[in-house]
A and B are shown apart, each in its own frame.
Chain A
Amino acid sequence: EAGVTQSPTHLIKTRGQQATLRCSPISGHTSVYWYQQALGLGLQFLLWYDEGEERNRGNFPPRFSGRQFPNYSSELNVNALELEDSALYLCASSLEAGATGELFFGEGSRLTVL
């Protein structure tokens, strides 16, 4: 069974550009989470989608946005990139919101903003 897949693995952008990151959850999982991790530090929660709806949002500016598609895959968009957006962006999936299952993480997308 395929795990959580993220693309692209690496992405290099310049300040002011837009970045789009993609995530495919494990089959059967309806919840998708996005986290930002800068320089091997802690996880900063970005967004949580479940059944196509945004369930929760972290303390990030509106230029961070996303969506979840009918097949439960998800996309994270970062507009007007800033240098401090350089980080590893991790996607994770789990069973439906009310379940007791753990999160399964992808390998991440490394975004570098020059």
Chain B
Amino acid sequence: AQSVAQPEDQVNVAEGNPLTVKCTYSVSGNPYLFWYVQYPNRGLQFLLKYITGDNLVKGSYGFEAEFNKSQTSFHLKKPSALVSDSALYFCAVRSYGQNFVFGPGTRLSVLP
């Protein structure tokens, strides 16, 4: 069975500081990993994905994520947070031919 954990309900960071939103997963087979962002009363927007290859993937709005197979993690990072990054972030996993499974979400607050 596939599963995703986001151990922090809420992450607070000061504007200009680096941010990390954590994600760990469990899947049989090779994982396809995704990060999405959701602003209030909106649908989810795709940020980035890892399918294969380089463990560090870069995405939209300056976000990046590092795939760590041994730790089964896929943490989202950004070197310098903006107030406008404040939103709800979801990690998701799927394997070939299987359903997408989403984590519970982490609310990021960037304080000015």
Residues on A facing B (Cβ under 8 Å) = 4, 33, 35, 40-43, 45, 48, 55-56, 88, 90, 92, 94, 97-98, 100, 102-108, 110
Contact = CB atoms under 8 A, between A and B. Distances in A.
A90 B104 CA distance: 15
A105 B40 contact: no
Given A102-B49, A103-B46, A106-B43, A40 B88 contact: yes
Interface centre among B45, B96, B99 (most CB of A within 10 A): B99
Given A40-B88, A41-B105, A108 B43 contact: yes
Contacts of A103: 34, 36, 44, 46, 92, 100
Contacts, number: 58
Contacts of B41: 88, 108, 110
Nearest to B51: A100
A89 to B, nearest CB: 11
A33 B43 contact: no
Contacts of A42: 90, 102-105
A91 B62 CA distance: 26
Interface in B13-69: 32, 34, 36, 40-46, 49, 51
A97 B97 contact: yes
B49 A107 contact: no
B44 A90 contact: yes
A57 to B, nearest CB: 10
B21 to A, nearest CB: 14
Nearest to B102: A43
B98 to A, nearest CB: 8
Given A90-B44, A102-B34, A43 B99 contact: no
Given A45-B102, A103-B92, A107-B42, 14 more contacts: A35-B102, A40-B88, A42-B104, A92-B44, A94-B100, A98-B96, A100-B96, A102-B46, A103-B36, A103-B100, A105-B43, A105-B44, A107-B43, A108-B42
Contacts of B104: 41-42
B45 A55 contact: no
A106 B92 CA distance: 17
